């Protein structure tokens, strides 16, 4: 390696280290924190499911104590958008919210039971959210309507190279006005107990756990020095062959 190249790589490495020192412990900016208003909080989990549109192959669970034929029924939504229920036969539910299905079933039961009350829960099989980055278990995850950021990360298990001070939560959209990105300082949340940033993750949301600055520098330096390794190996081999 020529001296000039060596000096340039050393200077680049020093610049990276200086950058790291300025970034370590760097949490969300005020602008990033302001984006939290577009994400539901953990205590709003019930309202999150109210607007959910049921779709195949979701599973609905029905509680109707006054109607034993369908009480405790657990049925999957068929590809045609219907569920097959004793007494009521096929009922079309695709595109409805759980509340709307409750109202529909209550109305249909009026023919058989006066004053019947129906409660519907959903096992979400048709919607997903996604975990990327420094996690042992990244990838698509089934949306349940009760997925908080802390619960998701506890299951995904960030690696030791993760940056807990800057966890990204992304709400993607084709509409620029509906796209939102916030950054959560998970370490601060654990240290202070302030769960205001423990947002509710909704369908299609993305959780991204980045590399911490030190790890990022390590990767950058490895990539920087990688071309040098074959040269070192070749030189060592030549010395071995020459007995030097």
Are 119 and 136 contained in the same domain?
no
With a cut of 80, say whether residue 137 has pLDDT above it: yes
Domain termination residue (choose one: 65, 100, 123): 123
Are 132 and 83 contained in the same domain?
no
Domain termination residue (choose one: 123, 154, 180): 123
Angle between helix 3-23 and 213-225 (nearest 10): 170
Write out pLDDT tens, residues 140-169.
999 888 899 999 999 999 999 999 999 999
With a cut of 70, say whether residue 20 has pLDDT above it: no
**107-123 b/e (C-beta count within 10 Å ≥ 16 → b):** ebbeeebeebebebebe
* CATH number of the domain to which 112 belongs: 3.30.1950.10
Are 84 and 201 contained in the same domain?
no
d(C-alpha 94, C-alpha 57), whole Å: 10
Between 13 and 139, residue with greater pLDDT: 139
Are 136 and 39 contained in the same domain?
yes
d(C-alpha 199, C-alpha 206), whole Å: 12
Tally of domains within the chain = 2
Does residue 11 fall inside a structural domain?
Answer: no
SS3 label, residue 155: helix
- Other CB atoms within a 10 A radius of the CB of residue 243 amount to 5
Does residue 237 fall inside a structural domain?
Answer: no
Are 167 and 203 contained in the same domain?
yes
With a cut of 60, say whether residue 47 has pLDDT above it: no
d(C-alpha 165, C-alpha 189), whole Å: 9
Are 29 and 138 contained in the same domain?
yes
Write out pLDDT tens, residues 192-241.
999 989 999 998 999 999 999 887 777 777 777 665 555 444 444 444 44
- Closest among 50, 163, 169, 62 to 118, alpha carbons compared: 62
d(C-alpha 199, C-alpha 185), whole Å: 12
Structure tokens at 78: 């068929």
Structure tokens at 43: 């205590």
Are 74 and 100 contained in the same domain?
yes
Are 119 and 131 contained in the same domain?
no
Does residue 230 fall inside a structural domain?
Answer: no
Give me the DSSP letters along 212-233: PHHHHHHHHHHHHHTTHHHHHH
* CATH number of the domain to which 162 belongs: 3.10.560.10
Does residue 151 fall inside a structural domain?
Answer: yes
Are 94 and 201 contained in the same domain?
no
Structural contact between residues 143 and 203, judged by C-beta atoms closer than 8 angstroms = yes
Does residue 221 fall inside a structural domain?
Answer: no
The model's pTM: 0.67
Are 139 and 205 contained in the same domain?
yes
pLDDT of residue 236: 46
Residue 78 lies in domain: 53-123
* Percent of the chain that is helix, strand, coil (3-state, to 5): 40, 20, 40
Residue 61, CA distances (Å) to 57, 77, 96, 142, 169 in order: 13, 11, 14, 17, 30
Are 167 and 74 contained in the same domain?
no
Residue the block writes with tokens 């939102």: 180
Radius of gyration of the chain (CA): 27
SS3 label, residue 88: coil
Does residue 242 fall inside a structural domain?
Answer: no
Are 138 and 199 contained in the same domain?
yes
Domain termination residue (choose one: 85, 103, 123): 123
């Amino acid at each position: 390696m020529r001296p000039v190249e060596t000096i340039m790589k050393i200077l680049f490495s020093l610049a990276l280290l200086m950058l790291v020192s300025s970034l370590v412990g760097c949490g969300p900016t005020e602008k990033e924190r302001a984006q939290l208003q577009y994400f539901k909080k953990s205590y709003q989990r019930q309202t999150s499911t109210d607007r959910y549109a049921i779709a195949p192959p979701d599973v609905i669970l029905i509680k109707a104590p006054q109607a034993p034929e369908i009480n405790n029924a657990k049925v999957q939504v068929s590809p045609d958008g219907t569920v097959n229920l004793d007494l009521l036969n096929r009922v079309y539910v695709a595109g409805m919210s759980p509340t709307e299905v409750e109202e529909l079933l209550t109305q249909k039961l009026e023919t058989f039971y006066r004053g019947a009350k129906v409660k519907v829960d959903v096992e979400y099989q048709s919607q997903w959210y996604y975990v990327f980055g420094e996690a042992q278990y990244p990838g698509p995850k089934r949306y349940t309507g009760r997925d908080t950021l802390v619960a998701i990360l506890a299951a995904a298990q960030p690696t030791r190279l993760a940056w807990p001070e800057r966890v990204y939560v992304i709400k993607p959209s084709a509409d620029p006005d509906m796209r939102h990105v916030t950054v959560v300082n998970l370490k601060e949340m654990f240290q202070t107990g302030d769960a205001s940033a423990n947002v509710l993750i909704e369908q299609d949301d993305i959780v991204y756990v980045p590399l911490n600055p030190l790890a990022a520098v390590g990767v950058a330096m490895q990539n920087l020095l990688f071309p040098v390794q074959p040269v070192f190996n070749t030189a060592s081999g030549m010395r071995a062959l020459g007995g030097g």
